[in-house]
Every structure is written in structure tokens, then in C-alpha cells.
Copies of this chain bind each other. A is one copy, B any other.
């Protein structure tokens, strides 16, 4: 977002826009599995069963749905290799790689958040038993 001469209120504009931007981003990325799934495939292409194994807890039904949805939205590609039997490989598109920075900051935050939670649990123990 670039503030130009027409932007009389660059700050306010930027603020209300970033809200809209975030809501637009969440519109496509919302849900428990979309970002983890994209991240997993950005790290390396995988087969159905491999993904299922990595995202512990995802059911085949939900995984199949998410994969279809992400393919429609150009985040992943379903490649069929003519081996016998055929190998079906899911891979991240170039477009899903534009999410790298988002996933990096989110991962960093998730890590420090877990640290914080651990700390506060330790603190509670001290308060109760210390």
C-alpha cells in the first residue's frame, strides 16, 4: 500500500484498509486446516496419505475437501504421474509461496505464544504449591 498525494488521510486510510485487507485474507484462509496444509505442501510436495499422517487428526473426508478447495483457489496443484499404479502428488503453486511471510510470522508467534503459556502454567504451580 503506497500513500500518494490523493491520500489526504494516509494514516486513517491505511488503518481502515489494513482491517479490510485482513478480513479479505481471512476470507480465503479461514479454517483449522488451510494454512497448515499450504505450509506442509510448501515445505515439500506430498501424497494424500503422507499429508494425512503429517496433519495428525485430519480425516480423509476433510482433507479431500480442503485439497479441492485449495486447488480451486490456485494454492495447490494435483499432479498425476503415470507410474503403475499412478502416483498422485499434491504440490504448492507459486501463488501459495506468496504466503511464506505470513506463515513465517505466524509460526514465530505461535512458538512464543506456546512459551508464554508454558511460563504462565509454571507460575500457577508456584502460586499453588510454592
**Chain A residues in the interface with B (C-beta under 8 A):** 1, 15-26, 28, 30-32, 35-36, 39-40, 43, 54-55, 95, 98-99, 101-114, 116
Residues of B within 8 A of A103 (CB): 18, 22
Assembly CA distance A22 to B99 (angstroms): 13
Q: Which B residues are in CB contact (< 8 Å) with A108?
A: 1, 21, 101
* Structural contact, A113 and B36, CB atoms closer than 8 A: no
- Determine which of B1, B24, B101, B111 lies in contact with A21 in the assembled complex, contact meaning CB atoms within 8 Å: B111
B111 contacts A102, C-beta separation under 8 Å: no
Nearest-neighbour CB distance to chain B for A33, whole angstroms, equals 9
A106 touches B21 (CB 8 A): yes
